[in-house]
Structure 1
Amino acid sequence: MEFDPSITTLAAVIQIAVAPVFLLAGIAGFLNVMSGRLGRIVDRARVIERKAAILQDDARLPAVQYELRTLWRRIKIINWSIGMCTASGLMVCSVVVCLFIADFWHLPMDQVIVVMFVLALLLLISALVLFLKEVQLATRILQKGRSFIDD
């Protein structure tokens, strides 16, 4: 059997592509967490919307409306976070594809790959910051609800 250098080269490219694939697995886990949060927020918003419809002239209506506005704000933020995280995952996939294309056709794509990887990380950072903002909003609404209970 003859030694085929392309197999060795392919193995090297696969080794290089493994790190972005691990990043992609982490992004997928994060997307799973955020989708779960989004589902719970939407469920809570539906409950609060029904409650607001019942409490038309009640003194508690402003508090319920405040919570509902906050829930819709959280939905918007988590949607943006999911979008940024998904875009980050797409960039990571593009990096892996470009690694293989650059090697297969011997194209100088070093700068493109670096830019896409940095963009993927910036999108992931943005997603994490938005996620943190959503968690802070959730905590704030819980603290406000606690003050109503303590009164």
Structure 2
Amino acid sequence: MINPNDVTALGHTIELAIAPVFLLVAAGGFLNVLAGRLHRIVDRARSRAQILLEATGHQHESIKEELRAIDRRIGLVNAAIGLVVLAAVLICLVVILMFAAQMSAFVVHDIISILFALAMISIGAGFATFLVETRIASRWIHVSSDLLEHQVMMDEMKD
């Protein structure tokens, strides 16, 4: 027969484990964003590499410089993915240890606290790495003033 107090304590442990599980869901969503970003960056690298083969002079140097930045962005997104996966693994360990502590006489509160703190540091570092990558990407996104002038001239010709 199951002791009702054990079931109540287990229910409480499940309640406490819900918050880290929501954090896992958020980490999964962030991983999805990072994977999509990585896919777009790789596609950009492939298209620019193809153009590089046909480019000459200033255009060739400009594309090479952009490809170096793209290579750095790929490394940063991969690092962010690694940090978020590490955070997810640490969160899983937190949940496992919460249940292990409930089912046994082990005192693991300190370990759980440390693992949770490490998970938060890891996911925070993943966000920071993602921020650096987006800053590098934004440096390469610019609208040519010639293009903007052209649009103005087209509007003036219509009038």
Using structure 2 for the length normalisation, give the TM-score: 0.87
> In 1, Cα distance between the equivalents of 2:87 and 2:63?
36
Deviation per residue, 1:77-128 (Å, 9 max, x gap): 0100000000001000000000000111121000000000000000011000
How many pairs align?
149
- Partner residue, 1:95: 94
Kindly tell me: are residues 105 and 148 of structure 1, through their superposed partners in 2, closer, same or farther at Cα, counting changes over 3 Å?
Answer: farther
Residue identity over aligned pairs, in percent, reads 34
- Partner residue, 2:152: none
Structure 1 residue runs of 4 or more that deviate by more than 3 Å after TM superposition:
145-150
DSSP 3-state at the match of 2:93 = helix
Q: Which runs of 5+ in 2 are unaligned?
A: 149-159
Q: Following superposition of structure 1 onto structure 2, how do residues 124-139 of structure 1 map, counting pairs within 5 Å?
A: 124-139=123-138
- Partner residue, 2:105: 106
Which letter maps to 1:41? I
- Partner residue, 2:37: 37
- Partner residue, 1:21: 21
RMSD of equivalent CA atoms:
1.9
Deviation per residue, 1:47-80 (Å, 9 max, x gap): 011111111x343111111111110000000100
Q: Which runs of 5+ in 1 are unaligned?
A: none
Deviation per residue, 1:12-66 (Å, 9 max, x gap): 10001000001111111000000000000000000011111111x3431111111
Structure with larger Rg = 2
DSSP 3-state at the match of 1:101 = helix
- Partner residue, 2:157: none
Kindly tell me: are residues 23 and 148 of structure 1, through their superposed partners in 2, closer, same or farther at Cα, counting changes over 3 Å?
Answer: farther
- Partner residue, 2:73: 74
Using structure 1 for the length normalisation, give the TM-score: 0.92
> In 2, Cα distance between the equivalents of 1:148 and 1:45?
25
DSSP 3-state at the match of 1:107 = coil
DSSP 3-state at the match of 2:88 = helix
Kindly tell me: are residues 136 and 147 of structure 1, through their superposed partners in 2, closer, same or farther at Cα, counting changes over 3 Å?
Answer: farther
